[in-house]
Structure 1
Amino acid sequence: MSNRRTQVVVIGGGQAGLAAGYHLRRLAIDFVILDAQTEPGGAWQHAWDSLRLFSPANYSSLPGRLMPRQAGEEYPDAAHVVEYLRDYERRYELPIQRPVRVLGVHREGGMLRVETDSGAWHARAVISATGTWWRPFLPAVPGRRDFGGRQLHTVEYRSPLAFAGRRVIVVGGGNSGAQIAADLTLDGHVDVTWVAQRPPRYLPDDIDGRALFDVATARRRALDAGRSDTGGVASLGDIVAVPPVRAARDAGRLQARPMFSQLTVGGVRWADGSEAGAEAIFWCTGFRPALSHLAPLNLRGPRGHIPTDGTRALGEPRLHLLGYGDWTGPASATLIGVGRTAREAAREVTGLLS
């Protein structure tokens, strides 16, 4: 097994890893990006067929390269994003090795040892940019093991075709739940029941990712300055009314029921005793940070997060976490938002190396 050295190892070749690579390249840092995927595109290559960005292309760009507009579409689809990311890593000649799965990051003297399925790397700093897609969250619901149908998470949805003529329950009052419920119900061949913990809260129809990025940034600045919490995006609502969601909602097809109390062999049961049959349940219930490769460093804090100052891990200054959500930078889990925190992380790493 090989044993290689570099100044920085970036773990993850999706949008956050590419943004980090862009800024490390500009700072003339020696680095490598290790990506577990076989092809470029990060999690976007696994998204469902009808998924659209919340923002127009020019508001969905990584640093240095505007995303070109997709012909005939105001909001690009996932396939367009994948091609953009493929072009991005080629344009900037980013040193990506794939498929390489990182098994663990360990302290070893003054270095960090990154163990992979193709050997070890020794680096003076590590940027973890693995995101959350690879760690879907399923809630503990009574009867979940009793249900006789299919149980799937957001990550497994592709299109309505496989569910024609079936009774499907979609669980989750956020964007993925609303979009998948809309996709299934607009198809017209699927019997869909949408359930959520609380009544859906739609953002105003004229708000998209452009405004959301500004709101998230304003919240982070307020918190950093010691001012009161503005509530950020959550204060506006939970669901961006992208065109398919708006169409299903306005047609009266997106009527969310309250969360059921338990699963049964053939479906679900509500608190009042009423039941509904189902052949499949989609859990659109979110994700957790994919951080198992960092377990040897023993840095986990409350809720599974690693405490950070910006992107830098408080318990290991040679480690930066990028793109996991607001706790590692405002809107850092978005295409447009990750560039700013990637630049800050690269600058801090440069300071550490010097």
Structure 2
Amino acid sequence: MNDRHTQVVIVGGGQSGLAAGYHLRRLGVDFVILDAQAAPGGAWQHTWDSLHLFSPAAFSSLPGWLMPAQTGEEYPDAAHVVSYLRDYEKRYDLPVERPVQVLGVHRDGEFLRVESDSGTWRTHAVISATGSWWRPFLPAVPGRREFGGEQLHTVDYRSPQEISGRRVIVVGGGNSGAQIAADLAYDTELTWVTRRPPRFLADDIDGRALFDAATARRRALDEGRTGSGGVASLGDIVAVPPVREARDRGLLQATPMFTRLVPGGIEWADGTRAEVDTIIWCTGFRPALSHLAPLQLRGRRGHIATLGTRAVAEPRLHLLGYGDWTGPASATLIGVGRPAREAAKGIAELLGSGRR
């Protein structure tokens, strides 16, 4: 199979990859988006059934086109987001090839060589926009292999009907943990476990305020001022309507973290035990960056040093959509637009095709 050539390869066809494609198209840069998924929608097509956004549609939009409102819903559900991303691709005629699994990005003289299960591309620049959904994190808790019951991660959970009537432990004090615990509070024997007491944001705070807080903190840090603490200073959990309802009904009572798993259950530090059928680990994710391993850019702690979105040790590589690490709130729909624009601008300048 002959190598293919393009100015830029975007790895990942979710929200971050589409935002980058939008800005590259506006700058007249030739590019291709390689997406491992069989259909449009990125990770949104794999979430649990009841998931809703934190913000109204107009405040959850990619650059260039406001997300249409969803009839009867103030906060759109995941299926609505998938439809929006699918229509966004079509609206801007973005060149997405799928399903294409990128296996590795290599230096190849003046080019970067992108190897995939569908062939090889030689390109002048790469934007990595793979997100983190594909790399769920499980904490090292003693006894996990001896437990014997069912263990799921956020990525595996779909609906209460699948585990109705069971004794369930939901682990995690973030938004995913709270939302899944609220989802299960009515149909299971639920225990919600968190490392520290859960911190709910005020009921009138949604994704709009969170994006503003993250942006203000990043601006302060960039200007050499002390940051306000950003989103973390406000709390950990957005009180979306299902969470608010379960909390107000007294169904979201958090329990301190257990110390170990035992056959058929869990055990706390004082020796107290509880029998458990299913554990759902809502314990977060790590960036999905295995395709960048051949570039050998990771430091001692596995972190790739960046300046904005650009990799410090490889200026032909930009990382987009992995959280504040690559731009304030860049893992969100509304937050990815600005760093996507800066990445596209930087690449256009590198290629010598930036507009004046």
Determine the C-alpha separation between the residues in 1 that align with 2:348 and 2:140.
43
* Whole-angstrom CA distance in 2 between matches of 1:194 and 1:226: 40
> What amino acid maps onto 2:216 in structure 1?
A
Aligned to 2:17: 17
- The alignment status of 1:305 with 2:303, answered yes or no, reads yes
1:72 to 2:72 alignment: yes
Report the equivalent of 1:102: 102
Hey, what does 2:183 align to over in structure 1?
183
Amino acid at match of 1:128: S
Query: How big is the shift at 1:335?
Result: 0.1
Match for 1:346: what amino acid? A
Q: Verify: 1:205 aligned to 2:203, yes or no.
A: yes
Give 3-state SS (helix, strand or coil) of 2:123's partner.
strand
Would the aligned equivalents of 1:154 and 1:284 in 2 still touch at CA under 8 Å? yes
Q: Answer yes or no: is 1:235 the counterpart of 2:230.
A: no
Distance 2:8 2:305 in 1: 21
Answer yes or no: is the 8 Å Cα contact 1:166–1:191 preserved in 2: yes
Q: Which residue of 2 aligns with 1:5?
A: 5
Q: For 2:308 and 2:337, locate their aligned partners in 1 and report how far apart those are by CA, in whole Å.
A: 14
Deviation per residue, 1:242-296 (Å, 9 max, x gap): 0000000000000000000100111100111111111110000000000000000
Structure 1 residue 165, shift from structure 2 partner: 1.2
Matches within 5 A, 1:116-127: 116-127=116-127
Give me the identity figure in percent. 76
Q: Which runs of 4+ in 1 moved over 3 A?
A: none
1:181-330 matched pairs, under 5 angstroms: 181-185=181-185, 188-330=186-328
Check conservation: 1:318, 1:349, Cα contact below 8 A.
Answer: yes
Instruction: Give the Cα separation in 1 of the matches to 2:98 and 2:293.
Output: 22
1:302: how far off? 4.7
SS at match of 1:123: strand
Give the Cα–Cα distance (whole angstroms) in 2 for the partners of residues 89 and 183 of structure 1: 32
Unaligned segments of structure 2, at least 5 residues: none
CA deviations over 1:119-170 (Å, ceiling 9, x no partner): 1000000000000000000000000000111111000010000111100100
- Cα distance in 2 for partners of 1:305, 1:260 equals 30
The answer to whether the 8 A contact 1:289-1:305 is kept is no
Give the alignment's TM-score, normalised by structure 2: 0.98
Q: Pairwise mapping of residues 14-163 of structure 1 onto structure 2 (< 5 A)?
A: 14-163=14-163
Give the Cα–Cα distance (whole angstroms) in 2 for the partners of residues 25 and 302 of structure 1.
36
Match of 1:353 among 347, 351, 354: 351
Give the conservation status (yes or no) of the 8 Å contact 1:219–1:231. yes
Q: How many residues align structurally?
A: 352
Distance 2:33 2:325 in 1: 23
Paired with 2:49 and 2:72, the residues of 1 have a C-alpha distance of 16
Q: Deviations over 1:91-117 (max 9, x none)?
A: 100000000000000000000000000
Q: CA deviation at 1:230?
A: 1.3
**1:24, 1:301 → 2: CA distance?**
29
Q: Check whether the contact 1:6–1:31 (CA below 8 A) recurs between aligned residues.
A: yes
Partner of 2:169: 169
Deviation at 1:39, TM superposition (A): 0.2
**Which residue identity is paired with 1:5?**
H
Structure 1: segments with no counterpart, 5+ residues: none
The TM-score with structure 1 as length reference comes to 0.99
Letter in 2 for 1:238: D
Q: Distance in 2 between matches of 1:128 and 1:345?
A: 11
Deviations 1:171-205 (A, max 9, x none): 000000000000001xx221110000000001111
Separation in structure 1 between the aligned mates of residue 167 and residue 257 of structure 2, nearest angstrom: 17
1:176 and 1:2 map into 2 onto residues whose CA distance is 44
Moved more, 225-234 or 299-308: 299-308
What CA distance in whole angstroms lies between the structure 1 residues aligned with 2:2 and 2:331?
Answer: 33
CA offset digits 1:55-105 (Å, max 9, x no partner): 000000000010000000000000000000000000100000000000000
Helix, strand or coil at the partner of 1:337: coil
Query: RMSD value over aligned CA atoms?
Result: 0.6
Aligned-partner Cα distance in 2 for 1:332–1:301? 22
